[in-house]
């Protein structure tokens, strides 16, 4: 059964969005289908079932358990204080950001080859890896209200995309992702502090300035009226461990609280953009100059912009950039039609 179901209208199920392909040898390239590509662009998201092999998901799960028990301590990440019960230790973190700059395991999953294969098809060929978030979301912990990710991470051109890897089964009880198909066609709604971002240059006449993005209280969240335009179409992304949800950075999405007593809702969430986009973002930290591209890893392809190497040496194209755009000629104009058939234009090639 398709695990995507409309939260409030079970008749709406985006076709073909879920497709399982068995994991193959790591060096094999994972290929999405044409219909997957169409679905992604129509709906603003795509779930690829079983993309990450069980052994790798199990490795992340074990890692979270070691973190939560204090058996692994990562520099700069405060562990749970001593003397807590295992349940109290489990409540210590909702999520931890940017560990790929501190621990090799996180860099490895940011650069997971099968995830990069899909990204190459959706936003590539040149892919830059920007952010990681390890979600623990223990029982009882809060969700996050409607937001659009490009509101937080601007890229120019605007090519940001998220990849949400389920570590535990995710469902409505433990606070799975909820997405609004088609809402990725919306512009990014800015708040008054973000003037200068995306379309706030005045190119869209009636673009509303909002407040309260991500607030779980719908009466406070300024995106509530935008979400209301898609009334009844929200989809709960029920996922199994190893499934990956790829989602456009304009897509309106949210997650509710984990209402279970005992089940964590762990997920490894990464953000990427086309490596030819400028990225004036370093997770809120300082950077030199007007962009921070030099701090983000070139995961696939090549770029004319600066980029970072993987700090822990995870194999990726930054170590051996591939020629993608330079030197590649597009196909002959107008499919090779004779010059005389192209209205009023002399085609010289």
Out of 45, 135, 189, 264, the residue judged to bind ligand AKG by CB under 6 A: 135
- Residue ranges in 113-132 that form contacts with ligand AKG under rule CB under 6 A: none
Which is closer to ligand AKG, CB of 135 or CB of 272?
A: 135
Question: What is the 3-state secondary structure of the chain?
Answer: CCCEEECCCCCCCCCCCEEECCCCCCCCCCCCCHHHHHHHHHHCEEEEECCCCHHHHHHHHHHHHHHHCCCCCCCCCCCCCCCCCHHHHHCCCCEEECHHHCCHHHHHHHCCHHHHHHHHHHHCCCEEEEEEEEECCCCCCCCEEEECHHHCCCCECCCCEEEEEECCCECCCCCCEEECCCHHHCCCCCCHHHCCCCCCCCCCCCCCCCCCCCCCCCCCCCCHHHHHCCCCCCEEECECCCCEEEEECCCCEEECCCCCCCCCCCEEEEEEEECCCECCCCCCCCCCCCCCHHHCEEEECCCCCCCECCCCCCCCHHHCCCCCCCCCCCCCHHHHCCHHHCCCCCCCC
One character per residue 214-253, x = contact with ligand AKG (rule: CB under 6 A): ---------------------------------------x
Residue 108 interacting with ligand AKG (CB under 6 A): no
**Interface with ligand AKG: number of residues (CB under 6 A):** 10
Residue 183 interacting with ligand AKG (CB under 6 A): no
Q: Which of 314, 310, 275 is nearest to 291 (CA)?
A: 275
Which is closer to ligand AKG, CB of 162 or CB of 301?
A: 162
- Residue ranges in 282-321 that form contacts with ligand AKG under rule CB under 6 A: none
**Piece in contact with ligand AKG (CB under 6 A), picked from 118-126, 141-149, 204-212, 304-312:** 141-149
One character per residue 258-287, x = contact with ligand AKG (rule: CB under 6 A): ---------x-x------------------
The distance of closest approach from Cβ of residue 147 to ligand AKG in the complex, given in angstroms and rounded to an integer, is 6
Q: Which of 109, 269, 298 is nearest to 176 (CA)?
A: 269
Which is closer to ligand AKG, CB of 125 or CB of 143?
A: 143
Which is closer to ligand AKG, CB of 215 or CB of 318?
A: 215
Q: Tell me the Cα Rg of the chain.
A: 21
- Please, what is the angle between helix 113-123 and helix 34-43, to 10°? 70
**Piece in contact with ligand AKG (CB under 6 A), picked from 78-86, 142-150, 192-200, 322-330:** 142-150
The distance of closest approach from Cβ of residue 135 to ligand AKG in the complex, given in angstroms and rounded to an integer, is 5
Residue 255 interacting with ligand AKG (CB under 6 A): yes
Out of 89, 115, 177, 213, the residue judged to bind ligand AKG by CB under 6 A: 177
The distance of closest approach from Cβ of residue 164 to ligand AKG in the complex, given in angstroms and rounded to an integer, is 6
Residue 50 interacting with ligand AKG (CB under 6 A): no
Residue 151 interacting with ligand AKG (CB under 6 A): no
Residue nearest to ligand AKG (CB): 255
**What is the binding site for ligand AKG (CB under 6 A)?**
135, 143-144, 149, 162, 177, 253, 255, 267, 269
């Amino acid at each position: 059964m398709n695990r995507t179901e409309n939260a409030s209208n079970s008749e709406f199920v985006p076709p073909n969005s879920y497709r399982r392909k068995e994991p193959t040898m790591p060096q094999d390239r994972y290929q999405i289908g044409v219909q997957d590509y169409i679905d992604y662009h129509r709906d603003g998201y795509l779930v690829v079932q079983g993309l990450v092999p069980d052994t790798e998901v199990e490795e992340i799960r074990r890692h979270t358990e070691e973190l939560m028990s204090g058996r692994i301590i990562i520099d700069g990440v405060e562990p749970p204080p001593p003397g807590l019960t295992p349940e109290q230790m489990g409540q210590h973190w909702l999520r931890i950001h940017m560990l790929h700059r501190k621990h090799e395991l996180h860099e490895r999953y940011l650069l997971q080859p099968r995830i990069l294969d899909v990204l190459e098809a959706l936003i590539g060929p040149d892919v830059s890896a920007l952010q990681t978030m390890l979600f623990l979301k223990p029982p009882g912990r809060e969700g996050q209200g409607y937001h659009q990710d490009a509101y937080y991470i601007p890229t120019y051109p605007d090519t940001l995309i998220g990849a949400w890897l389920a570590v535990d089964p995710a469902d409505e009880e433990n606070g799975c992702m909820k997405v609004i198909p088609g809402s990725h066609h919306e512009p990014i709604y800015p708040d008054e502090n973000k003037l200068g971002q995306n379309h706030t240059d005045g190119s869209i006449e009636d673009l509303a300035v909002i407040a309260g993005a991500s607030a779980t209280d719908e009466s406070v969240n300024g995106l509530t009226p935008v979400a209301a335009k898609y009334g009844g179409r929200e989809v709960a992304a029920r996922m199994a461990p190893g499934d990956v949800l790829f989602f456009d950075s304009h897509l309106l999405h949210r997650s509710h609280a984990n209402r279970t007593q005992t089940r964590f809702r762990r997920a490894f969430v990464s953000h990427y953009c086309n490596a030819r986009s400028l990225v004036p973002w370093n997770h809120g930290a300082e950077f030199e100059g007007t962009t921070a591209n030099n701090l983000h890893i070139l995961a696939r392809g090549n770029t004319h912009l600066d980029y970072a190497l993987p700090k822990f040496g995870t194999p990726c194209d930054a170590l051996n950039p591939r020629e993608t755009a330079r030197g590649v000629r597009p196909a002959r104009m107008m499919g090779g039609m004779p010059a005389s058939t192209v209205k009023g234009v002399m085609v010289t090639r």
